[in-house]
Amino acid sequence: MVEKRRVKRLKDYDEIVLTVFADGKKFPKEKFSYNHSKDVSVLGVGIKGDIYLPAGSIIRATMKLNSRFPITIIGQVKWVKAIKDEGYYEAGVEFFVPPNESIKNLKEYISWLGEVQKE
């Protein structure tokens, strides 16, 4: 299988609180917190959870990143896969351009995560 990602993703397992755009303009009040990251890069994140997120959905995600580098980003669900035997879904989310502070925190976290995974 040919890798299509523009940057390497690192394995990660942290809580992500998601809010889905209701109509592309407003966020609903409902938040989904039973989601976790699978992997992360500066361009996107793979998530795993019990909520189906249709491809094309716009989401706001607050990523705890081990509480060291918490950030909030907005992105779009690019793909989704149901893991029926296990009862959960996986989705790939591509970030829209996050604020400078979020990029800085995300880069620091990915650098830290890369060092931890080398040990």
The confidence score (pLDDT) of residue 81 equals 92
Whether residue 1 has pLDDT greater than 70:
no
Which tens digit of pLDDT belongs to each residue from 93-113? 998 866 576 777 778 878 888
Judge whether 116 and 9 are in contact, CB under 8 Å: no
- Give the C-alpha separation, 66 to 13, whole Å: 9
The pLDDT mean for the chain works out to 78
| Domains of the chain and any CATH numbers | 10-118 (2.40.10.220)
Phi, psi of 104 (to 5 degrees): -60, -50
